[in-house]
Amino acid sequence: MKVQLTPNKEVFNFCNPYIIAEIGANHNGDMDLAKKMIDSAVECGCDAVKFQSWTPQSLIAKEEYDRNQSYDDSAKKHFGSLKEMVEKYYLRDEQHLELKQYCEHKGVDFCSSPFSKGEVDMLVKLDVPFLKIASMDINNLPFLKYAAKTMKPIVVSTGMSNMAEIETAVKTIQAEGNNQIVLLHCISIYPPKDKDIHLRNISMLQQTFDLPIGFSDHSFGASIPLASVALGACIIEKHFTLDKDLPGWDHEISANPVEMKTICADSKKIAAALGNTFRVVSEEEEQKKAKFRRSIVSAKNLEKGHVLTEADLNYKRPGTGIPPNEYHYLLGRKLNQAVDEDFLFNWNNFE
């Protein structure tokens, strides 16, 4: 199945993957930093930058705020209370518009994850190409229904979910008449252990749902998302930062520009190198046969009239003579001329 993810990008399993730089809240509430990150993502070759659309009221309940009144700042990743961080890091509506316009100017897709119905409405008004549903909302069926009714393509991360929950989410979206669905294999640990990533789930999800399957990655470095391309991931979503040491929730597990550039460049190489499932010998390889393959040659000096036996034959480059797999046609044939050792046989040398 194929999904028209954006006006210019159709995604399907084993396509050239669509690379999303997940800025999320890594802008730290600083619009200048956000724009620098967009610039860097464009330089890296990303197809899209993604933000997160939530407010202090739309995501977290009072009980959770009350439980997180302060952070241990020994790692210099947090400050104050959870509510203070949320207040600083959330994007206002007018900032969404500003960033969307900046992305249009830079020629990169702007997208975001909504966390409430109001944020869905706001993103639809901005005419984002698709809606990204975070893993935490895969069982939020009323929210999935609301998002599906927009008829925007829906990209769903599957972290923390079992197969029944994934199936229910897919059916919930489809029940609204929206079949433009992409699932992202995801492990919602920051970072996960290698043994817990289970990249083969990509193949399993492809076979189970007949939908385009991508990968939302929280591992360190570029190797794991690049490996997902070999399994056919149609989207790679990777957290992105300019500096892993910046304060904030996700900088440490994010790709820096060097890593993101590697992901963007090498994912295209891998997708191209996967090729077809049927055997193909390229024109360039055909041309190398004459130089690199062997031909049948005489193993020693032979007289005219000699009847060839297997002991008379040897096999050496170049491949412009009789190929070795036709040796049995020479056995018992009589030479019409004398030949020296290493003579390259052709069919005119026999009576």
| Chain segment 139-187, per-residue pLDDT in tens | 999 999 999 999 999 999 999 999 999 999 999 999 999 999 999 999 9
Which of 288 and 72 is assigned the larger pLDDT? 288
Token pair listed for 185: 């294999």
pLDDT over 90 percentage in the chain: 89
Which pLDDT score, from 0 to 100, does residue 69 have? 79
Burial of 228 (0-12, 13-18, 19+ CB in 10 A): buried
Which pLDDT score, from 0 to 100, does residue 293 have? 97
Which pLDDT score, from 0 to 100, does residue 83 have? 86
Whether the CB-CB separation of 248 and 29 falls below 8 Å is answered with no
Which pLDDT score, from 0 to 100, does residue 71 have? 60
- Lowest mean pLDDT: which of 42-46, 276-280, 295-299, 314-318? 276-280
Helix (H) or strand (E) holding 296: strand 295-298
Token pair listed for 346: 């052709």
Over residues 225-280, the pLDDT tens digits come to: 999 999 999 999 999 999 999 988 889 999 999 999 999 999 999 999 999 899 98
Over residues 108-144, the pLDDT tens digits come to: 999 999 999 999 999 999 999 999 999 999 999 999 9
User: Does residue 11 surpass a pLDDT of 80?
Assistant: yes
Which pLDDT score, from 0 to 100, does residue 249 have? 84
- The average pLDDT across 174-202 equals 97
Which pLDDT score, from 0 to 100, does residue 76 have? 59
Token pair listed for 247: 């304060």
Which of 249 and 3 is assigned the larger pLDDT? 3
Which pLDDT score, from 0 to 100, does residue 12 have? 98
pLDDT level of residue 80 (50, 70, 90 thresholds): confident
Which pLDDT score, from 0 to 100, does residue 225 have? 98
Which pLDDT score, from 0 to 100, does residue 19 have? 98
Which pLDDT score, from 0 to 100, does residue 207 have? 97
User: Chain-wide mean pLDDT for the chain?
Assistant: 95
User: Does residue 73 surpass a pLDDT of 60?
Assistant: no
Task: Tell me the sheet residues that pair with 350.
Answer: 335
Whether the CB-CB separation of 183 and 215 falls below 8 Å is answered with no
Which pLDDT score, from 0 to 100, does residue 134 have? 98
Burial of 284 (0-12, 13-18, 19+ CB in 10 A): exposed
